[in-house]
Chains A and B, each alone.
Chain A
Amino acid sequence: MPIFIDRRLNPKDKSLGNRQRFLKRAREELKRSIRDQIRAGRIADADAEHTVPMPERGTGEPSFNNARNSGRRQHILPGNKHFSPGDLIPKPGQGGGGGASSPGNTASEDDFRFVLSREEVLDLFFEDLELPDMVKLNLKEILAFKPRRAGFAATGSPTNINVGRTMRNSHGRRIALRRPKQAELDAVLREIATLELVPSGAAASQRIAALREDLDRLERRRRRIAYVDPVDIRFNRFDPQPVPNANAVMFCLMDVSGSMGEREKDLAKRFFVLLHLFLKRRYDRIEIVFIRHTHLAQEVDEDTFFYNTQSGGTVVSTALEEMHRIIEERYPAREWNIYAAQASDGDNFAGDSERCKALLNGKLMRLCQYFAYVEIIDEREAHIFRTTENGTSLWRAYSEIDVRWPNFQMSRIATPADIYPVFRQLFGRQLAPLKRA
């Protein structure tokens, strides 16, 4: 009789620690691989499981092995069909069947692709952006408000009067203050009428006088105690209840004129990816609209957005106009949370910046939950520009908008690490004003 132990209920993932150690070891390389994949892939695909190749560095397990292409050796194989001693068989080349020796297991074990979970992917992706853990874990909610019944109130607008409750109060008050009922008055009136019908003596007229006095008293009392008094009135009370708005649309605006190179586009893309990730955690459905512009703006698909270059001047306002047109057409601000992120190197056609300012002030900022402008600058200029408010004409124009609208953010980005501060502004400081709105 053997001993039986049921291990099925033991904690699983015994090797989770080993897996984590392995990922930690390969971190740098995995990070690069994830970054490349996100760079090459679609924005919406960043937030998923990724398959990554086995990192080459740091995860090898070397040992002394015999070289396969040296020396004399013998292979013993089963299943001879027609060979005789002395037959020559060409050595299998690449992909040739009928192999002499099977490839070792170890060779393939260092060369496989494995799956990283969504959390691991985001971890690796966020790490580079220097997001603090708190932000990663605790994404703050942006809310829409919907009125919800919350009991009754003594004050309110007439449309919200709760008739049932009001009448109940009035009824109780009338009983408590003994307001004469209509039936009582009617009874007195009827008695007077019957007495007056028959001509009678002094006793009757005395009785009538007493009744009239009664009637008068009752009517006065009825007048004094109102049928419905303001103290009876109750209103339905509504509380603004925060409800997550399920839909969001994200506008990506980018200058694609010649001055935006690979590096600029890559930084912009990472900014867009991050914004998308943040939005994705909050909204059920997110649509992304890509608008690229030179001196003309057009809505394009993602591939065209990132990989097609176009020549031309730079007129930023065209993109804003296009965005406004699309909002009017497809995304009414009542139903959609509208986010916009604009990336540019700051070049703009002379005089156009004023027009941009007018467009934003007049139309767009009221529609948008958030408008982020990132100016991608040269790394060598980073130390100059970070300290000064001066800049391109676009930057100066946008600075004024920044002051006026709390949901407008602008930042200069030179390296990936600069991307995060924009988000800190968005998800930290910005929350309060949005709630009041």
Chain B
Amino acid sequence: MARQASKSSLLFSGSDWDFKTLSRAYDAIEAIAVEELHLDTYPVQMEIISSQQMLDAYSSVGMPLMYRHWSFGKHFLYQDLLYRKGARGLAYELVINSNPCIVYLMEENTMALQALVTAHAALGHNHFFKNNQLFKQWTDAGAILGYLDFAKGYIARCEERHGLTAVEAVLDSAHALMAQGVFRYHRPPKLSSERQREGLRERLEYEERSYNDLWRTLPPSQQRVSDKEQEPERKKSLNLPEENLLYFLEKNSLVLEPWQREIIRIVRVIAQYFYPQGQTQVMNEGCATFVHYTLMNMLFDRGLISEGAMLEILRNHSNVVFQPAFDDPRFSGINPYALGLDMMQDIQRMSTEPTAEDRDWFPDIAGRGNWREILLDAWADHRDESFIRQYLSPTLIRKWRFFVLGDVADQPHCQVASIHNERGYAKIRAALAHSYDVGAKRPDIQVVDVDLLGDRHLRLQHKVNDGVLLEDASRDATLRHIRRLWGYEVSLAAVDAETGATIHERSTSQITE
């Protein structure tokens, strides 16, 4: 013990870092993480970058490789502006869900920060990426970098062959539908290998070359059956209704060329890759924050980091988990770091020092002392919505002083619906969980019908929940993009989810350019 406390046992001293120290710190942190928290991670690749490169990474949605598109330039300008004005600092790190897990470290960080970031990203996020069910099922960490490399090269080749404008037009339209370009309910098809895709492209090109217009002139073999009879058959053959608009357009659009389909596919795959991240913000950040906080304290307890470094770490930690109240000018929504950390620490507390209330609400957790297993299970199985629905305790609701505000569009007042009292706990928990449900937050738009042999009018349906309609201007602009990809008329019907009544219908023929 005495030896441990001596100066030589410190992982680092001073604020400067070098690669040897980084490596030593990582090894020590990882050892504790495995031993104490039973974390299970991908191998780690740490990359040191400058602030300029961090800005670059921001603008290409955080990926190390990305195809070129003007919208990334626009985001870059925006981030650059915020950074230059000092309105926003840059993140200390950026982590990519890939195998090996890539962690970007900023060169400006002090050694204490690098240690914090290592625990946060290289272990916390990394564990979450590797073990969480959503990431496991819906994204392919091993293949993503290879796929992006392919995507970047493919789009660059398309630009050479077909011109920048043509490629941009497809990308613009596909980007507009990114939120509607994911499979939410069934598992997405696995990424095919480069060889399979190559084979598919060759086949499509062969079909193009060997197309014979003569077949079109053959008279139809039999009388067409009436529309009504045909409808179920038709929908079945097209797998309608279809929630993934990009997938539907890629497979069924009559006006797209093979390279355009491939581009849509690329956008769709990337959208699918990011889909879980949007659903696990609280969990992902909470997991990483909980891990870094716990690990750093353990390192400190073992005398591996000095008091000065620990103070710096705690200061940064408390900045990260700062949550202003709703009436504070700094308030900008619920801080996922803070909520995630609080919930996970609350689980730890309930399992070791439960109150009577906890025993009542969480009989499976209270006093069992097995918080490590509970957390590992939670990180593996839940997304934000289900995690909150299951684990948000009355203690925490009181601590945060949550309240629910009902907001009906045409009334001048909001009404306080529930507060942190006995009657409100369950309601607040349900409402908060609901607000993290991506399925409920994103407009639900599906392809419901199209007559490929007739007028090819593509019919979309928007299921209106709680009377929340689409914003007019962006809806029209997006419909124009769909029309561009579909080639024929497109209409969108807003249908009330409960009554099934059509609220209104908007067609591209009504929209003037």
Contacts and interface: CB of A to CB of B under 8 A. Distances in A.
Contacts of A64: 179-180, 442-443, 445, 462, 470, 474-475, 478
Contacts of A91: 407, 412-414
Interface in A56-86: 59-81, 83-86
Q: At the interface, is chain B mostly helix, strand, loop or mixed? A: mixed
A18 interface: yes
Interface string A112-144: 111100000000000000000000000000000
B361 interface: no
A21 B70 contact: yes
Interface string A1-45: 111111110101111011111111100000000000000000000
Contact of B326 (A22, A63, A98): A98
Given A65-B474, A76-B402, A100-B405, A12 B52 contact: yes
A340 B478 CA distance: 54
A19 B466 contact: no
B502 to A, nearest CB: 16
B44 interface: yes
A198 interface: no
Contact of A20 (B56, B73, B178, B465): B73
Interface in B370-412: 400-409, 412
Interface in A268-305: none
Nearest to B325: A79
A88 interface: yes
B73 A85 contact: no
A126 to B, nearest CB: 22
A109 interface: yes
A115 B473 CA distance: 28
Interface string B35-72: 00000000111111110110110011000000011111
B59 A15 contact: yes
A89 B413 contact: yes
Contacts of B474: 62-65
A433 interface: no
Interface string B162-197: 001000100010011111100000000000000000
A180 to B, nearest CB: 83
Contact of B468 (A7, A71, A97): A71
Contacts of B432: 76
Given A1-B23, A86-B415, A62 B405 contact: no
A69 B46 contact: no
A71 to B, nearest CB: 3
B407 A73 contact: yes
Contacts of A74: 404-407, 417, 431, 434-435
B385 to A, nearest CB: 13
Contacts of A75: 404-405, 407, 414
A22 B404 CA distance: 42
B122 interface: yes
Q: At the interface, is chain A mostly helix, strand, loop or mixed? A: loop
A194 interface: no
A100 B407 contact: yes
A53 to B, nearest CB: 12
A87 interface: yes
Contacts of B46: 2-5
B408 A114 contact: no
Contact of B419 (A18, A84, A90): A84
A159 interface: no
Nearest to B478: A62
A152 B104 CA distance: 66
A433 to B, nearest CB: 46
B49 A85 contact: no
Contacts of B122: 2
Nearest to B81: A114
A17 B478 CA distance: 26
A15 B419 contact: no
Interface string B462-490: 10111111111111011001000000000
A115 B176 contact: no
B406 A72 contact: yes
Interface stretch (B236-244, B249-257, B329-337): B329-337
A200 interface: no
Contacts of A3: 43-46, 100
B288 to A, nearest CB: 16
Given A2-B45, A15-B60, A19-B77, A76 B412 contact: no
A78 B398 CA distance: 10
B424 A85 contact: yes
Given A81-B401, A112-B78, A97 B467 contact: no
Contacts of A14: 53, 56, 60
A182 interface: no
A77 B53 CA distance: 36
Contacts of B409: 69-72
B211 interface: no
A88 B407 CA distance: 10
Given A15-B76, A64-B443, A7 B49 contact: yes
Given A18-B59, A66-B470, A102 B331 contact: yes
Nearest to B77: A114
A6 B104 CA distance: 10
B466 to A, nearest CB: 5
A4 B334 contact: no
B360 interface: no
B56 A13 contact: yes
A67 B404 contact: no
A97 B328 CA distance: 9
Given A14-B60, A60-B477, A65 B69 contact: no
A85 B176 contact: no
A2 B168 CA distance: 39
Nearest to B20: A4
Interface string A175-190: 0000000000000000
A20 B80 CA distance: 15
Contacts of A18: 59-60, 68-73, 76
A66 B412 CA distance: 20
Interface in B16-34: 19, 22-23, 26-27
A299 to B, nearest CB: 40
Nearest to B84: A115
Nearest to B418: A85
Given A8-B107, A70-B409, A89-B414, A78 B402 contact: yes
B428 interface: yes
B289 interface: no
B333 A102 contact: yes
B323 interface: yes
Contact of A21 (B43, B68, B421): B68
Contacts of A115: 81, 84
Contacts of A77: 326, 402-403, 405
A113 B84 CA distance: 12
Contacts of B435: 74, 76
B302 interface: no
Contacts of B177: 63
Give 8 nearest A-B pairs by CB, closest first: A79-B325, A22-B73, A71-B468, A18-B73, A62-B477, A71-B467, A77-B326, A2-B44
Interface of A: 1-8, 10, 12-15, 17-25, 54, 59-81, 83-91, 97-102, 109, 112-115
Interface of B: 19, 22-23, 26-27, 43-50, 52-53, 55-56, 59-60, 68-78, 80-81, 84, 100, 104, 107, 122, 164, 168, 172, 175-180, 323-329, 331-334, 400-409, 412-421, 423-424, 428, 431-432, 434-435, 441-443, 445, 462, 464-475, 477-478, 481
23 contacts: A5-B45, A12-B56, A14-B56, A21-B168, A62-B481, A65-B474, A67-B470, A67-B471, A69-B409, A72-B409, A74-B404, A76-B404, A78-B334, A78-B400, A78-B401, A79-B326, A79-B331, A85-B424, A86-B415, A91-B412, A101-B407, A113-B81, A114-B78
Given A1-B27, A71-B409, A74-B431, 4 more contacts: A4-B23, A62-B474, A63-B176, A88-B416
